[in-house]
Amino acid sequence: MEWYHYLSGFFASVFFANAIPHLVKGACGDLFPTPFSKPMGKGPSSATVNVLWGLLNLIIAFVLYKAGKVSSQDYLTMIIFFTGFALKTVTGARHFSNKEKM
């Protein structure tokens, strides 16, 4: 495996982790910040925008996952994939824990 496969696998998990809250909030009909909100990333975006943003993140995650050749047979790719997922979810939780105050 080349170094860029690992990088691709890492970012696949970051995009996948980012898709989840947007898809869930959008499917529930809730407002949630997106890059299209005002102020950017802090103000509320509609449920439809969140679903569309979540789907785009899911598509990007899938493409990067395939390009990264992530496999359960290769422990290093799984560790890198999980690390990206963990970092994104923890930083997202910390950032959005105060979204009502934004």
**Predicted confidence band at 100 (pLDDT cuts at 50, 70, 90)?**
low
Closest CA to 91 of 7, 16, 18: 18
Which tokens is 8 given?
A: 């691709």
Instruction: Quote the longest CA-to-CA distance of the chain.
Output: 45
pLDDT at 98 over 80: no
The average pLDDT across 83-94 equals: 94
Coil, strand or helix: which one is 32?
A: strand
Q: What angle do CA 84, 88, 6 make, to 5 degrees?
A: 15
pLDDT tens readout for residues 11-64: 999 999 999 999 999 999 999 999 998 888 788 899 999 999 999 999 999 999
